[in-house]
Amino acid sequence: MNTVALGQYVHKIRILAFNLMVKHAHFLIWAAGNNAVDFFLFQKKRINARLIEDGFPPLPDDLGFKLIAIDTRDPYQLKNNLVYIARNPYKADCKVTPSGYLWGSNYLLFSNIYKVIQKKQIKDYSIDYMRGVLRSKIRLPCDYMFNDTLGMILPESYVSFKDAEKVLMTSWNYCSDLVKNMDAYVRISERIGRRIVINDQELDTIIYTICKNKYNVKSYLELSLDDRCRLGVRLFKDYHINAKRICRKIGIEYSVMYELVK
């Protein structure tokens, strides 16, 4: 987390949202291309130094990053990526809500939690102390906030979360999209080459949404066999749902489904 704080300051990165996961991370940033590349190289270099210092092997040489350009004039692209990033911890561990995840900026969105977290500005600490904590001679702005218990610069110091909230518009829209906007999750996962995992509850939401928006019914049970087959094909092609699972969910014979998608 401190490496993120240092990197965004050194390489002049504006962060709208980010989450650090066990094996990967996601950032939504505004930056020039060369600054973005330098920022991520800075992350890897510092993490490797820390791992080696603590007696662990460094990150694999082929562990890289993928930069995907987004049209900042398109509020839907920004919104969908904000929601996708926020969903990552929840997808990894359904016992943690997006706002309850510590290692990122989720807890800042539509929340007052950051206002009650214990913190002090780094100007209240000695230069030597902050160098020891950050393991760096880089001097961050004196108004950055630091938490003693966690030993880290808090994301509220450098994340443009108020701009992210403007894109998301309301907490209602944000919470609704976290649960219901599965199309954005699938499309973005495909763009970045991640495996798509849709649980049964999410699949129920997808089926309900398609039935409501395309067929104007509340349940697949109200669909004709032809429309149910079309729904099955869409689930297979657009959401990569296994054919047997589709049959179980919307009541189609497997032999029929097999002929439709073979």
Domain end, chosen from 180, 206, 234, is at 180
Rounded to an integer, what distance in angstroms lies between the CA atom of residue 207 and that of residue 168?
A: 24
Sequence-ordered alpha helix ranges (H) in the chain: 2-10, 33-53, 75-92, 113-116, 127-134, 161-168, 171-180, 182-192, 200-215, 225-239, 243-250, 254-261
| Torsion angle of C-alpha atoms 69, 71, 74, 75, degrees rounded to 10 | 50
Quote the pLDDT of residue 116: 85
The answer to whether position 193 is within a domain reads no
Nearest Cα to Cα of residue 151 among 137, 173, 132:
132
pLDDT of residue 65: 82
**What type of residue is 187?**
R
Q: Are 153 and 7 in contact (CB under 8 A)?
A: no
Which tokens sit at 181? 């906007």
Residues 111 and 142 in one domain: yes
- Alpha-carbon distance of 101 to 90, in angstroms, equals 8
Q: What is the DSSP letter of 160?
A: -
Asked if residue 141 lies in contact with residue 9, where contact means CB atoms within 8 angstroms, the answer is yes
Task: Report angle CA 73, 77, 81 to the nearest 5 degrees.
Answer: 130
Exposure on the CB side of residue 153, measured as CA atoms within 13 A: 26
Same domain for 105 and 234, yes or no, is: no
Q: Please indicate, yes or no, if residue 118 is contained in any of the structural domains.
A: yes
Q: Enter the tokens of residue 235.
A: 């689930």
Q: Is the domain of 209 the same as that of 128?
A: no
Beta bridge partner(s), residue 188: none
Clarify whether residues 53 and 20 are in a common domain: yes
Give me the pLDDT at residue 201, please: 80
Has residue 60 been placed in a domain? yes
CB 82 within 8 A of CB 17: yes
- Give, for all 262 residues of the chain, the pLDDT tens digit: 999 999 999 999 999 999 998 888 899 998 888 899 999 999 999 999 989 999 999 988 887 788 888 877 787 888 888 888 888 877 777 677 778 888 999 999 998 888 888 999 999 999 999 999 999 999 999 999 999 999 999 999 999 999 999 989 898 888 887 777 676 667 666 566 666 777 888 788 888 888 888 889 888 888 888 888 888 888 888 888 888 888 888 888 888 888 887 7
- Let me know: does 1 contact 152? Beta carbons within 8 Å: yes
Q: Examine the fold and report which residue of 180, 215, 233 is the final residue of a domain before the chain moves on.
A: 180
Residue at which a domain ends, from 149, 180, 211: 180
125 with 219, same domain: the answer is no
Both tokens of 47, joined, read: 């993490």
Report the C-alpha dihedral over residues 189, 190, 195, 199, rounded to 10 degrees: 60
Q: What is the reported pTM?
A: 0.74
The whole-angstrom separation of Cα 183 and Cα 199 is 14
- Domains of the chain: total: 2
Same-domain status, 43 and 170: yes
User: Phi and psi (nearest 5°) for 122?
Assistant: -70, -15
193 backbone dihedrals φ, ψ, rounded to 5° = 75, 30
- Structural domain boundaries enclosing 207: 198-261
